[in-house]
Amino acid sequence: MKIELTKQQMREQWMARRYGEPCRLASGTVIREHQADVEALAEREMRNWYLELLDTAEARFLCPEEVGNKVMVNDMGDDTVEIVLPVGVRRVIAVRMEGWKREATMVEADSVAARRLLNPFSRATNRSPVAVVTPTGRLRVTAVDGSTTVGSLLVVVDHGEERYVMDDSALGLI
């Protein structure tokens, strides 16, 4: 189930799951001098963990967002379309242009599969589409049959340090 936590709520989850805090064995007051800022350390750990989750976790732990109708599409003129991803997108889960028979295989810009697309005999088709993820945060796809309309685009988005959006099962990974 999708959950959305504030930074404070996420910190509470992090402290409870990672450090066993708050631990109230007895009531009383303890004053520590020269203590390390455990909460600041926990927030850095928590943020790094969350970004790693967004970048590498299975899609079932995430809450991908459909942004197909929110993107700008540039026709590159060589049967290639470039899709400009919204700000905050960490990863593309799936893309499908109108007219395609299935979702594209995602490849990195420096891969053999991406270089194969330059050859007219090994270019992507509507039955075997390929999307190239560029280092500039854009997607390049072959405009099969001239289609430049995005049918579906599922992405993982980082909403900033104040919002943590994920499936509740991801908390078990802490």
Residues 52-97 have pLDDT tens digits of: 999 999 999 999 999 999 999 888 877 788 999 999 999 999 999 9
Alpha-carbon gap, residue 25 to 28, rounded angstroms: 10
Q: What is the mean pLDDT of residues 100-124?
A: 82
pLDDT higher than 70, residue 23: no
Q: Are 156 and 51 in contact (CB under 8 A)?
A: no
pTM for the complete prediction? 0.82
What residues contact residue 70 under an 8 Å CB cut-off, 6+ apart? Answer: 86
Tokens 């991803």 correspond to what residue? 85
pLDDT for residue 60: 95
For the chain, the average pLDDT equals 86
Type of residue at 164: Y
pLDDT for residue 24: 56
pLDDT higher than 90, residue 20: no
Q: What percent of the chain has pLDDT over 70?
A: 89
